[in-house]
Structure formats: C-alpha cells, structure tokens
Amino acid sequence: MSATARRAALAAAAVLALAVFGYASASPDYALGQATLVITYAIAGLGLVIVVGHGGQIALGHGALVALGAYTQALLVARGLPPLLALPLAMAAGGAGGALASLPARRLGGLYFGISTLAFALMVEEALVRWESLTRGSAGLGVAAFSVGGWSATAPAAQLGVSAVLLALAWAGCRRLLASRIGRAWRALREDEMAAQACGIAAGPSIALAFTAGGALAGLGGALYAHWIGYLSPEQFGLRFSFELLMLVFIGGARRLAGALWGALVIVALPQLIALARDALPGDTLRSAGVETLLFGALIVAAVLLRPQGLAGGR
C-alpha cells in the first residue's frame, strides 16, 4: 500500500468514524450531514490542490468559483433541468470562471497574480449581490434536493452516498490528470519555471489549464453544496470562505490529493470543536460570536506556525 493510498484510507476511516460517532450520539442525521459536508469541501479542495499544490499558484478567490458552480446548478435546476444534466454545466461554469481568473497569469507572477484572483472573486461576489433579477441578491435562493429520474436524495444517507460517488470519480480523474503530460508540466513549472520553459513547456496555457480544472472541481463542489444546504446567498461565498478553502489545503497538505480530504475534515470539525470549547468557557460575555472568530483565527495562526508543511506533510 503506497503512502498516498494509506493516507486516503485513513481519511476515509476518519469520515466513517465521524458518521459512526454521530450514530452513537444523539443525532445520526446530523453526523451524516457533517460527513456529507466534509466530502463536498474535499471536492472543492481537490481543485485547490491542483492549482496551489501542483500549479504552484496562489489562488485567493477559489470560493468565487464554488459560488459560480452553486448558482449555475441552482438556477438551471430551478428552470426545470434535471440535476444530473446540470452538474456538467455547473462544472463548466466553474471552469470558465477559473479560465477567466487566470487570464492575468500570462503576464503576472506570484503574489500579483494572487491579488488578481482576489479582485476577480470580489467582483463575482458583488455581481451575485447586485444582479437581483437573476440571483435574488442577499435575499437568497432556495434549491431543491438532488434527484435522478423519480429518485431524490433527501435522506442524509443518500446525500452522503451521492457525494462519496462523485468524490471518488473526481479523485480518479485528478489522479489521471496529475499522472499525465499536463500534470508533469505543472510540477515542472512549480519547481523551476525557467527550466520548464527551456524544455518547451508553455507557462501561460499550463497555468490556465490548472485553473480551468481547479475551477471545474470547485463548480462540482458548489453544485453539491447548493443541493445539500438547500439555500444560497452571496455571503456564504465571501472572502472568508476562500480563505477557509486555502487553509483547508494548507492544513491537509497542498501537494497530495489526500490533503484535500484531511483538510476538509479539519475545517468542518473546527467550528464544532470551537463551539464545544466556547460552551466550556465561564461567563456570558465570553460566549459571544466574537470568541468563535477569535478562536478560529488563533487556530489558523497556530496551525501555520506549528505545521508549516501541513498535516499530510511531505514534498
């Protein structure tokens, strides 16, 4: 068993443990819902693993690509398209957004490019709020459950199943992509752009491709998120969400696919742990929402300082 496969199995076991723990505790449905959320985050995280870990780019606006997928799926399904047919279109929307956001990459590098993805994300968020005739602005949009033919995934176990199948497909796709010519080109560019270009690898198109693939995965994650949560509003996809995804791959380890699943587990579990810790604190003033933000920020700082290589580690 290779190290990657072992880690993947470990992560799968952890998700399972979460579900079992939930069954044993008061609310099994809640635990299944959390496991579903972990998998949804992991799918979006896979996209960021490609862009950050393999493409070697800083993407500060990945949340906006998730939003594009989520809104595309919600709007198409609301207009009567079967969810299964809408999924590829949501992925296409995310991918197109990624391609668009990567345009400046042809001329910019490093931090400058990261900033341009940030500007892209802020404009998407602004558009989602302002284009009220389409997105209903801050009032939000309801989304029906995922369904195929006459069967619809309303039960938490069914949601988990659908997510797991799609994660497996996405994972297999990523493995193939990273083992292919283009995957090798990304890694070559990440290690040494000059040397890679000397070998005939075109930097601009390769980075654009990484963003398109990453955006498509973000779109898929967003589409599932829309179905499971059942309600979309622009503030779910703000800057903080983009940074949560960034932290997800950082904590999990940006260079491995398994990093996305590990990171997703941590990111989804953190608010629960923080809520537990907060309830243990004495006094009413300490239980405000501010303490939650404070602890979340402190945990980011601690994670970055203590494990600069991420939990999955490795190069």
Q: Where does this chain bind another protein (CB under 8 A)?
A: 52, 58, 60, 103-104, 107-112, 114-116, 118-120, 122-123, 126-127, 130, 239, 243, 246-247, 250, 254, 285-286, 288-301, 304-305, 308
Taking the least distance from each CB to another protein, the nearer of 78 and 294 is 294
User: Which residue's CB is nearer to another protein, number 114 or number 230?
Assistant: 114
Residue 148: helix, strand or coil by DSSP? strand
| Min separation Cβ 98 and another protein, Å | 15
Number of C-alpha atoms within 13 angstroms, CB side, residue 114?
13
Question: With respect to another protein, which residue has the nearer C-beta, 149 or 308?
Answer: 308
Distance CA 92, CA 217 (A): 9
Count Cβ atoms below 10 Å from residue 225 Cβ, excluding itself: 27
What interhelical angle do 83-101 and 203-229 show, nearest 10?
Answer: 140
| Both structure tokens of 227 | 């179905």
SS3 227: helix
Smallest distance from the beta carbon of 272 to another protein, in angstroms?
A: 17
**Least distance (Å) from another protein to the CB of residue 254?**
8
The Cβ of residue 283 has, within 10 Å, a number of other Cβ atoms equal to 6
For the bound state, the minimum distance from the C-beta of residue 35 to another protein, rounded and expressed in Å, comes to 26
Minimum distance, C-beta of residue 248 to another protein, in the bound complex (Å): 11
**CB-nearer residue toward another protein: 96 or 115:** 115
Rg of the chain on CA atoms, in Å? 19
In the complex, the smallest distance separating the C-beta of residue 291 from another protein, rounded to whole angstroms, is 5
List residues bridging with 141 in a β-sheet: 232
- Between residues 176 and 240, which has the closer beta carbon with respect to another protein? 240
Q: What is the C-alpha separation between 95 and 83, in angstroms, rounded?
A: 18
Smaller CB distance to another protein: residue 110 or 142?
Answer: 110
Residue 65, CA distances (Å) to 94, 98, 125 in order = 5, 7, 10
Nearer to another protein, 6 or 106 (CB): 106
Rounded Cα gap, residues 49 and 273, in angstroms:
25
Residue 153 contacts residue 271 (beta carbons within 8 Å): no
